[in-house]
Amino acid sequence: MSIADTAVAVTGLGCTTALGNDVETTWSAMKDGVCGIRPFRNINTTENLKIEIGGEIPEPVDAGIPERRLPAFDRFTLLAMESANQAIKQAGLEFSDPDLANRSACIIGAGNCGWEIVETGFRKFFLEGARRTHVMTVPRSMASAPASQISMWHGIKGPVYGVTSACSSANHAIVAGYQAIKSGDADVAVVGGTDAPLIWGVLKAWEALRVLAPQTCSPFSLTRRGLALADGAGVVVLERAGHAKARGAKVLCELAGVGMTADAGDLVNPTVDGPSRAMEHCLRSAGITPQDVDYINAHGTGTRANDATETKVIRNVFASHADSISVSSTKSMHGHALGGSGGIELVACVKALEEGIIPPTINYEEPDPECDLDVTPNVAKKRDINVAVSNSFAFGGTNAVLAVRKA
């Protein structure tokens, strides 16, 4: 089908995950059901850490930043920069033209922000007796640092800001880019999310919540015991379709619709109502029916409450068609990158559309009657996919859902 000039097109993808430092490596691992959640290599687990696994990035990331400038970058910003570089390169964009630069946005979500520099400062103060912290502590740790650095590096001069809404941060940032294009405020938007929570203090804080899996992440399986934290980022280039066509860019797919709601309930326990309304708003926004949806990349954290609630949400929205939809949680492979997860999962949805492959939910051992969907257990499968939906449901009851459609 032909995409309308006023539609929002996806023209570039980038990601940096526990499965690989780029899209093709990550996607290849997803298709093969590779687990990127492994025993820590770079974190000292002898320092009173009970959890010893997570999704570490396999190779060092410098995002092409000169060494002399690296002290201005926290790890979560470097991951976002590397992912943005990939997406912008694939889209074939350069922002040297003032008209393009002024009509381009960069909006990046982050859940935990820059705890690397903060923890380093605390250690120097309390363990080493230091009297001052790193001069770049404030600009490195701020939630807007990834968007600002990408903007400065590439010369993006339109709307530039950070978004933070816990695990929905990336999807909210993507929605903001979608809305900027739809409203006419931008022709191009570099959007997504990033986080780097594999830091001792952050891990200890998550341990206290008692939601971390001790060995592996098994979403929707009866044996699931929790989520696995991971570093990671995912960034996409959105573009007004007419603008993309005019410059001869390849349109990967259409970002067809978005939906956002709040539970207004409990700080950590999800509801059925809020996520259901977000999915319904997304379908209406895209002008599609429940029967049009072929694949759902679930929020699928691997906790008892999340997976059972999300199953109820999907059945509530799709009724009997829920049994015909392929569902999977790619977090079982790349881990939960918090504010970065939605960006990674949108990349997975676009690749699924492109290749007609449903990535699996790995580590699946035993069916759970409360999670009675086709969750694509352990092995990817081929399927013609016209519409895919990506769910993000966060602490605080903030929900953001995206729908992509073949162009």
Q: Is 154 a catalytic residue?
A: no
**Which tokens is 106 given?**
């960069």
Catalytic member of 217, 281, 336, 349: 336
- Beta strand segments in 217-305, E: 232-240, 253-262, 295-297
**Which tokens is 185 given?**
């405020």
Contact indicator for 107, 178 with CB cutoff of 8 Å: no
Task: Report which of 6, 11, 20, 2 is spatially closest to residue 230, judged by C-alpha positions.
Answer: 20
Catalytic member of 15, 113, 167, 282: 167
Catalytic member of 299, 334, 349, 371: 299
Q: Is 334 a catalytic residue?
A: no
Contact indicator for 190, 14 with CB cutoff of 8 Å: no
C-alpha 36 chain-centroid distance = 16
What residue type is 91 in one-letter code? A
- Beta strand segments in 279-351, E: 295-297, 326-328
- DSSP states of 149-183 as a string? HHHHHHT--SSEEEE-BTBTHHHHHHHHHHHHHHT
The rounded distance, in Å, linking the Cα atoms of 127 and 241 is 54
Q: Is 299 a catalytic residue?
A: yes
Q: How many CB atoms lie within 10 A of CB 184?
A: 10
**Which tokens is 221 given?**
């399986």
The rounded distance, in Å, linking the Cα atoms of 54 and 228 is 6
Query: Which residues are CB-contacts of 6 (< 8 A; sequence separation ≥ 6)?
Result: 240, 241, 242
Task: Report which of 307, 332, 309, 326 is spatially closest to residue 388, judged by C-alpha positions.
Answer: 326
Radius of gyration of the chain (CA): 20
Task: Report which of 360, 386, 350 is spatially closest to residue 192, judged by C-alpha positions.
Answer: 350
What residue type is 20 in one-letter code? G
What residue type is 6 in one-letter code? T
The residues that bridge with 324 in the sheet, in sequence order, are none
Catalytic residue set: 167, 299, 336
